[in-house]
Amino acid sequence: MTFHFQNVYIEETSTVCGPYEKQGPLRRYFDQCYDDLSIGEDSWEKSEIRLVRDAIDILFRKTETSKEKVDVVVGGDLLNQITASTYGIDCGKSFVGVYGACSTCVLELILSSCLIDSHHINNALCVVSSHNMSSEKQFRYPTEYGIPRKNSSTFTATGGACALLSHSKSGVRIDCATLGKMIDMGQNDPNDMGRVMAPSVIDTITKHFKETGRKVTDYDLILTGDLGLYGQEIVKDYLRSYSDIYLDDSYQDCGVLLYDLKKQKNIKAGGSGPVCSALVVYSYIYSLMKRKKLKRVLFLATGALFSPTMIHQGNNIKSICHAISLEAI
């Protein structure tokens, strides 16, 4: 399931982050940073909605276009009924809501690219968000509850990120994409998502190289979404042991890049959440590609399709990974 695109470009991006991401090494690449997790709102859900609105406003300010000129807005987040997207997005001629857990960002890019490349629409706005506290409240424990966290657990990133895709030539082109399938490897520990999601990366990356005929060396950078410290090692080790794909230093993980894991001890194994990879790719990576420091990047966003209800009913956590290849022009 690999598609090649001829005429789709990332025209502009915008990123807004929370206090923990601000303390990380990529701070200077973000458009706006908040010092307080509340983002000036009185509930965590409203805080996330505000992040979405801010990211959209910044993007339109940067592109100097009006909100009505966007054909399709594709949005997604972690909250039930994708609340942050449905309440935060107030622009565009039409809206598509998607859910792919932490792989949402690439899923949005792929769907938008298909619509643009087939000339059904001229442009699309991809919006993604997550908030550490709103996710904790929904998926784990009350936010003030001080449950000790395992070293393998990941930390949901706080932020909102947007990318405007169109026909207009810009510095970064969307080259091709591979849609992944849901994988169940019998994993059921919500405190070790890297281990849950690593199999889907292995499956999608193998499929991508097979269907495109490309090799690791064809990419300057291979980037996974939010596997964290342990998940990325599993991927490297498995591929080295059971395939001919050898991932070297050109392989990185967004969850590890977003934070300074040595100083920020509470992050544990790394960042996660739909916005985690988007914050890294739409700011740092996009800027490197525009400056031609990176020519071609393979971005594999990973998602754990985790439902607390199904876990309590004794089921496993499925995972998914979608890949997109970005090219600097």
Binding site for another protein (CB under 8 A): 42-43, 137, 141-148, 150-152, 183, 185-186, 192, 195, 198-199, 202-203, 229-230, 233-234, 237-238, 241-242, 266, 269
In the bound state with another protein, the residue whose beta carbon lies nearer, of 14 and 158, is: 158
Q: Which run of H or of E encompasses 123?
A: strand 123-130
Taking the complex as a whole, the smallest distance from the CB of residue 215 to another protein amounts, in Å, to 21
Q: Which residues contact 293 (CB under 8 A, 6 or more apart)?
A: none
CA dihedral over 216, 222, 224, 229, signed as positive or negative: positive
Token readout for 56 is: 């959209």
CB of 122 to another protein, least distance (A): 40
Specify the residue, 119 or 314, whose C-beta has the smaller distance to another protein. Answer: 314
Helices marked H in the chain = 19-22, 44-63, 83-88, 104-117, 132-139, 193-212, 228-242, 254-257, 274-279, 286-290, 308-312
CB of 233 to another protein, least distance (A): 4
Residue 167 CB, shortest distance to another protein, in Å, is: 39
Q: Give the list of residues 6+ apart from residue 64 with CB closer than 8 angstroms, or none.
A: none
Report in angstroms how near the CB of residue 327 gets to another protein at its nearest: 29
Residue number with CB closer to another protein (173 or 195): 195
Rounded to whole angstroms, the Cα distance separating 10 from 290 reads: 10
Nearest residue (CB) to another protein, 72 versus 198: 198
Least separation in angstroms between residue 108's CB and another protein is 27
How far separated are the first and last CA of the chain, in Å rounded? 25
SS3 323: strand
> Residue 118 or 146: which CB sits closer to another protein?
146
SS3 content of the chain, % helix, strand, coil (to 5): 40, 25, 35
* 186 vs 314 by CB, closer to another protein: 186
Give the shortest CB-254-to-another protein separation in angstroms: 18
Comparing CB distances to another protein, the nearer of 150 and 292 is 150
d(CA 296, CA 173): 9
